A and B are shown apart, each in its own frame.
Chain A
Amino acid sequence: MYQYTDFDRQFVTLRAQQFRDQLERWQRGELTDEQMLPLRLQNGWYIQRYAPMARIAVPYGEISSLQLRTLGHIAREYDRPTSELLAHAQATQDELEAAQPGATLAAAPLKYGYGHFTTRTNVQFNWIPITRAADVMDLLASVSMHGIQTSGNDIRNITCDALEGIAEDGIVDCRPFAEITRQWSSLHPEFSYLPRKFKIAFNGAKEDRAAIGWYDIGLQALKNDAGEVGFTVKVGGGMGRTPIIGSVVREFLPWAELLNYIEAIVRVYNGYGRRDNKWKARIKILVKSEGQAFITAVEKEYRDIVELDGAPHRITQAELDRVTSHFVVPELKPANLPSKVDPQGQLYQRWLAQNVRGHRLPGMKTVTLSFKRLGFAPGDADADTLDALAQLAEQFSASEARLTHEQNLLLPWVFESDLPALYEAARKLGLAQPNIGLLTDMIACPGGDFCSLANARSLHIAEAVTERYQDLDELFDLGPIDLHMSGCINSCGHHHSGHIGILGVDKDGKEWYQITLGGADGSQLSGPAIGGKVVGPSFTAAEVPGVIEAILDTYRALRQPGELFIDALRRIGHDPFKQAANAARHAKAEEAVH
């Protein structure tokens, strides 16, 4: 993973000091709430339903054992509501449940003391009091972590494929390019008050595992016939109320031009993106409404940057080499720990099949620890688990781990010979469910349990579906399925790109859920990125598990031998799945809520 320079360390420390200064001025009344809002957002601090939420950046998902321990410490010591606040929050959630008799699902009590892994490789805490925010930022800075631009109308935390630099199908390791771009975008004087948030993703492998079609800028690395490295540039993808897939504006951008070209895109967006309507302010709306005129404007701006401004941010070979040298391959040693695992056991074999992947280095594997387990929200890790992960990474993966887009944690440097012992250790921690890529490996946002934007809760649905599909034979029979769930149209749970998508909507203060089918993130399994289509009127929470089951039963009835869910859906068309879904409505639940 990236090794910080002295400058990088000092920069993060000074940023924490700046945030403390801003927070104190706000507390003294020198800054209004409105004036403080973008300042705290640009450091990752939201005010949510009951408490502040801190969003901590984990660039490219790479995290060290030391950093995991610090997150564990924050979870244990800081992610704590007062008993009054917790009682109030729980009572409010209970009222929400009681107001929807027969139409909702039983929800687990609110939890505290944990970190939550997000789809954009951030870690979120839900209960840190704002009065302790500056202390938490200092603590994070002490291990080279921060919340810089994890929110706000700026260039957000940059993401990559979780297998960057270790994938078997890797073309180019994008992490140095992403880091150069991250540095360029950090505290950018011109681009800190854009019309709306701006997200950039890189993918350096043949398979798109970073969902780059769904990003404001998606960059696919490739090599041309001469072996030179460049990027296919997509612009204007995004989820939200208007799901759009990014358009290719450059087939091959030479790598040295990356910052100059991004600067051109963002400058055109800053000048012409809509600021009168929050829902139309993303660059996707500009690209969609202007089409070729947008591309022409970007190309003209890019030429001006090069010809008139002297291309000050052209990346030099020396800089690429310098940053590349900071992504060191750690010293690799096998753990050689004893294990009692039966190598032929079915569970172990299933774990090997689902959770273990190839590595570019011979004799090495990548292992995904599953954070999709009964009794826990997708992507949640409590303090003890964070500490245990730190130790696991030390023992088995050169003290490094990676957060994944699917809200799991991947160990990037595992010796094949260590797999049985690692399996045993992961199993003791409850992190060895062999469900990676399967139905229960779902993506879900925190939803209406915590988020003030949410229209509906998502976690009780995640729990109900997880509970329903505990039988591994059944789960394996259903095969790979992307189930994505968002508690509102902001789409943090990426429902648009799920083979099955669930979207929480609000009608008259009650929670309803739209189900979509056929979305794709752009992976090999899913095919080119596309948004799913709604199956019909929305459902109550109580109906959703049965609707999912009806859709999957239809698949099992209609599939050809070996045919995957997404392939069957595309071959057959949505109609029989829609009919099954709509037939799973509870007539009585409809009456009860109306």
Chain B
Amino acid sequence: MNIIAADAVPASVEAENTLQIANDADLAEIAASGALEGVARVELQFPKFTDGRAYSQALLLRRRYKFAGDIRATGDVLIDQLVHMHRSGFSSAVLAPGVDASAAQRQFERFSAFYQGDVLEPRPLFAREAA
């Protein structure tokens, strides 16, 4: 996962082929309208880190709508939610201003596996162990 410090992103420059999706937007409608075609990056919003709607959006973009570009977390993005984001399908995250990234990497190394399936490994543990 590409973890980006807040001050490393020029605020004024909008990346090309980037689609920003609000966390209350209906993904099925967006996908059906063809709006995802040609998009290199989708930015999903965390207005507060406790607002978890974008996790579902990222997961559906990957699993159901087969979006293969970058999915970027923006807004109130903190260290302790990065693993959840990565597992839900986010491939990059811009940390909230003032968040020190030094504690981030070890969060990814802690758990070797999880019970439920996710975007990185769709099969739950039981299906993996049975295989």
Contact assessment for A190 and B88 in the assembled complex, using a CB-CB cutoff below 8 Å:
yes
- Bound-complex Cα distance A142 to B4 (A): 37
Contacts of B112 in A (CB 8 A): 10
- Bound-complex Cα distance A322 to B130 (A): 10
Contact assessment for B53 and A313 in the assembled complex, using a CB-CB cutoff below 8 Å:
no
Contact assessment for A183 and B64 in the assembled complex, using a CB-CB cutoff below 8 Å:
no
Contact assessment for B50 and A11 in the assembled complex, using a CB-CB cutoff below 8 Å:
no
A188 beta carbon closer than 8 Å to chain B = yes
Contact assessment for A313 and B52 in the assembled complex, using a CB-CB cutoff below 8 Å:
no
> Residue on B with the closest CB to A189?
B87
Contact assessment for B116 and A184 in the assembled complex, using a CB-CB cutoff below 8 Å:
yes
Contact assessment for A184 and B64 in the assembled complex, using a CB-CB cutoff below 8 Å:
no
Contact assessment for B115 and A17 in the assembled complex, using a CB-CB cutoff below 8 Å:
no
Chain A, interface size category, equals 35 or more
Contact assessment for B125 and A7 in the assembled complex, using a CB-CB cutoff below 8 Å:
yes
B56 beta carbon closer than 8 Å to chain A = yes
Contact assessment for A319 and B126 in the assembled complex, using a CB-CB cutoff below 8 Å:
yes
Contacts of B111 in A (CB 8 A): 11, 14, 187
Q: Which of B51, B115, B123 contacts A183 (CB 8 A)?
A: B115
Contact assessment for A189 and B84 in the assembled complex, using a CB-CB cutoff below 8 Å:
yes
Contacts of A270 in B (CB 8 A): 52-53, 55-56
Smallest CB separation, B84 vs chain A (Å)? 4
A193 beta carbon closer than 8 Å to chain B = yes
Contact assessment for A35 and B49 in the assembled complex, using a CB-CB cutoff below 8 Å:
yes
A153 beta carbon closer than 8 Å to chain B = yes
> Residue on B with the closest CB to A273?
B53
Contact assessment for B114 and A187 in the assembled complex, using a CB-CB cutoff below 8 Å:
yes
Q: Which of B24, B81, B113, B130 contacts A316 (CB 8 A)?
A: B130
Interface residues of B in 87-131 (CB under 8 A from A): 87-88, 100, 103, 106-107, 110-118, 122-127, 130
Contact with B along A173-190 (1 / 0, CB 8 A): 000000010011111111
Contact assessment for A308 and B64 in the assembled complex, using a CB-CB cutoff below 8 Å:
yes
Contacts of B127 in A (CB 8 A): 312, 316, 319
A21 beta carbon closer than 8 Å to chain B = yes
Contacts of B73 in A (CB 8 A): none
Smallest CB separation, B13 vs chain A (Å)? 28
Q: Which of B80, B87, B116 contacts A313 (CB 8 A)?
A: B116
Contact with B along A185-202 (1 / 0, CB 8 A): 111111111100000000
Contact with A along B28-72 (1 / 0, CB 8 A): 000000000000000000000111110110010001100000000
> Residue on B with the closest CB to A186?
B115
Contact assessment for B123 and A312 in the assembled complex, using a CB-CB cutoff below 8 Å:
yes
Q: Which of B50, B56, B80, B100 contacts A267 (CB 8 A)?
A: B56
Q: Which of A21, A312, A318, A322 contacts B124 (CB 8 A)?
A: A312
Contacts of B116 in A (CB 8 A): 183-186, 188-189, 313
Given A17-B110, A18-B110, A190 and B56 contact (CB-CB distance below 8 Å): yes
Contact assessment for A304 and B64 in the assembled complex, using a CB-CB cutoff below 8 Å:
yes
B interface size (C-beta, 8 A): 39
Contact assessment for B106 and A21 in the assembled complex, using a CB-CB cutoff below 8 Å:
yes
- Bound-complex Cα distance A7 to B24 (A): 37
Contact assessment for B124 and A184 in the assembled complex, using a CB-CB cutoff below 8 Å:
yes
Contact assessment for A313 and B117 in the assembled complex, using a CB-CB cutoff below 8 Å:
yes
Given A14-B111, A189-B118, A308-B64, A322 and B125 contact (CB-CB distance below 8 Å): no
> Residue on B with the closest CB to A319?
B126
- Bound-complex Cα distance A192 to B122 (A): 18
Contacts of B126 in A (CB 8 A): 180, 316, 318-319, 322
- Bound-complex Cα distance A155 to B92 (A): 26
Contacts of B117 in A (CB 8 A): 312-313
Smallest CB separation, B3 vs chain A (Å)? 16
Contact assessment for A35 and B52 in the assembled complex, using a CB-CB cutoff below 8 Å:
no
A38 beta carbon closer than 8 Å to chain B = yes
Interface residues of A in 292-328 (CB under 8 A from B): 304, 308-310, 312-313, 316, 318-319, 322
Contacts of B125 in A (CB 8 A): 7, 183
Smallest CB separation, A327 vs chain B (Å)? 16
> Residue on B with the closest CB to A323?
B126
- Bound-complex Cα distance A319 to B117 (A): 14
Contact assessment for B78 and A35 in the assembled complex, using a CB-CB cutoff below 8 Å:
yes
Interface residues of A in 5-56 (CB under 8 A from B): 7, 10-11, 14, 17-18, 21-22, 25, 30-31, 35, 38-39
> Residue on A with the closest CB to B117?
A312
> Residue on A with the closest CB to B88?
A189
- Bound-complex Cα distance A18 to B103 (A): 11
A468 beta carbon closer than 8 Å to chain B = no
Given A183-B116, A312-B124, A189 and B80 contact (CB-CB distance below 8 Å): no
- Bound-complex Cα distance A11 to B113 (A): 9
Contact assessment for A189 and B50 in the assembled complex, using a CB-CB cutoff below 8 Å:
no
- Bound-complex Cα distance A22 to B126 (A): 29
Contacts of B63 in A (CB 8 A): 309
B83 beta carbon closer than 8 Å to chain A = yes
A275 beta carbon closer than 8 Å to chain B = yes
Q: Which of B78, B111, B115 has the most CB of A within 10 A?
A: B115
Contact assessment for B115 and A193 in the assembled complex, using a CB-CB cutoff below 8 Å:
no
Smallest CB separation, A498 vs chain B (Å)? 33
A271 beta carbon closer than 8 Å to chain B = yes
Contact assessment for B50 and A193 in the assembled complex, using a CB-CB cutoff below 8 Å:
yes
Contact assessment for B103 and A25 in the assembled complex, using a CB-CB cutoff below 8 Å:
yes
Contacts of A308 in B (CB 8 A): 64
- Bound-complex Cα distance A222 to B69 (A): 45
Contacts of A259 in B (CB 8 A): 124
Q: Which 8 A-B pairs have the closest CB atoms?
A: A193-B52, A189-B87, A183-B115, A319-B126, A189-B84, A190-B55, A312-B117, A189-B88
Beyond the given pairs A14-B111, A31-B80, A189-B59, 17 more chain A to chain B contacts, judged by CB atoms under 8 angstroms and listed by A's residue number, are: A11-B115, A21-B106, A25-B103, A35-B80, A184-B115, A185-B116, A186-B114, A186-B116, A187-B114, A189-B84, A189-B88, A190-B88, A193-B52, A193-B55, A271-B53, A312-B124, A322-B126
Residue positions of A touching B, CB distance < 8 A: 7, 10-11, 14, 17-18, 21-22, 25, 30-31, 35, 38-39, 153, 180, 183-194, 259, 267, 270-271, 275, 304, 308-310, 312-313, 316, 318-319, 322
13 example contacts (A-B, Cβ-Cβ < 8 A) are as follows A14-B111, A18-B110, A186-B116, A189-B85, A189-B118, A190-B118, A193-B50, A270-B55, A310-B122, A313-B117, A318-B130, A319-B126, A319-B127
